[in-house]
C-alpha cells in the first residue's frame, strides 16, 4: 500500500484501506502489548518485522507520531530479542517460533526474516535519521554473509543464490526463489542506503 500511494497519493480507496489497516494494527497493539512483551500478538512467528514496518511507514505518512512510535518501539524490541550476546543476528526459528512466556525457537532460521528486518530498519533509519537503525539493518544483512550462529554464509557468490535457511547443524543447500530473492532485495536496499549514487546509476 505504501509503495502504491507513493506513486498514486490521491487514491481515496487505497488511503482508506491504509488507514483502516493501520487502526487495526494499533488496536492489536493496545490489546496485547505489555512492558515485557511489546508486540501485536501473543506470539512472534513469521516475517515479524513487517508489522512494525507497516506502522513506521503509515505513521510517518499520516503524520501520526503515536503510530510511528509504536512501530519503532516494537521494532526495537524485535531487534533486541534477535541479537545474541555475541552481537550477531539470530532470527526467531520456524520450529516453534516464540510464544509469550515460552522459550523461543532458535532454528530453523529463514532468509525472509533477515530481509524483513533489513527493510524495516532501513525505513526506520530514513524516517528518524537515527544511526542505530542503520546498524541494526547491517547486523541483519550480515546474517546472509556468515555472521550467524554457524559462521557460514547463506549467500552463494558463485551463482547469486541463497540457501533456504540455517539449520542447527548446516545451511540448507537448496536455493529456492523466495530465499534468493530475499537476499537480492536486502542487498539492493542496503546498496540504496549505503551507496545511493551507485543504486541510482544502476536503476
| Extents of the domains making up the chain | 2-202
**Contacts of residue 43, Cβ cutoff 8 Å, sequence gap at least 6:** 97, 98, 99, 100
Q: What is the DSSP letter of 83?
A: B
Residue written as cell 545511493?
A: 196
List alpha helices for the chain, DSSP H.
2-7, 12-32, 49-61, 65-81, 111-128, 131-145, 177-194, 196-202
Task: Tell me, rounded to whole angstroms, the distance of Cα 103 from its chain centroid.
Answer: 21
- CA dist 82 → 7, 93, 175, 202 (Å): 34, 10, 24, 33
Q: Which pLDDT does position 203 carry in this prediction?
A: 44
Q: Is the pLDDT of residue 3 over 60?
A: yes
Percent of the chain with pLDDT over 70: 96
CATH number among 3.40.1280.10, 3.30.1490.100, 2.160.10.10, 1.50.10.20, domain 2-202: 1.50.10.20
Q: What is the DSSP string of 165-191?
A: -B-SSSB-----HHHHHHHHHHHHHHH
Query: What does the pLDDT look like over 80-90, one tens digit per residue?
Result: 999 999 999 99
Query: What does the pLDDT look like over 149-159, one tens digit per residue?
Result: 999 999 999 99
Residue pair 117/78 in contact (Cβ under 8 Å)? The answer is: yes
Amino acid at each position: 500500500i505504501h509503495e502504491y500511494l507513493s506513486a498514486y497519493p490521491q487514491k481515496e480507496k487505497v488511503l482508506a484501506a491504509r488507514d483502516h489497516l493501520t487502526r487495526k494494527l494499533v488496536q492489536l497493539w493496545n490489546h496485547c502489548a505489555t512492558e515485557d512483551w511489546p508486540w501485536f500478538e501473543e506470539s512472534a512467528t513469521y516475517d515479524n518485522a513487517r508489522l512494525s514496518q507497516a506502522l513506521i511507514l503509515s505513521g510517518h505518512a499520516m503524520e501520526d507520531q503515536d503510530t510511528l512510535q509504536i512501530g519503532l518501539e516494537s521494532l526495537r524490541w524485535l531487534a533486541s530479542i534477535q541479537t545474541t550476546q555475541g552481537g550477531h543476528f539470530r532470527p526467531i526459528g520456524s520450529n516453534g517460533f516464540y510464544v509469550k512466556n515460552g522459550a523461543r525457537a532458535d532454528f530453523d532460521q529463514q532468509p525472509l526474516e533477515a530481509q524483513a528486518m533489513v527493510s524495516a530498519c532501513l525505513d526506520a533509519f530514513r524516517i528518524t535519521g537515527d544511526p542505530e537503525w542503520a546498524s541494526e539493518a547491517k547486523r541483519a544483512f550480515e546474517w546472509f554473509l556468515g555472521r550467524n550462529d554457524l559462521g557460514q554464509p547463506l549467500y552463494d557468490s558463485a551463482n547469486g543464490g541463497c540457501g533456504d535457511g540455517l539449520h542447527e547443524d548446516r545451511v540448507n543447500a537448496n536455493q529456492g526463489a523466495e530465499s534468493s530473492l530475499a537476499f537480492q532485495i536486502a542487498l539492493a536496499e542496503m546498496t540504496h542506503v549505503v551507496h545511493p549514487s551507485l543504486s541510482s546509476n544502476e536503476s
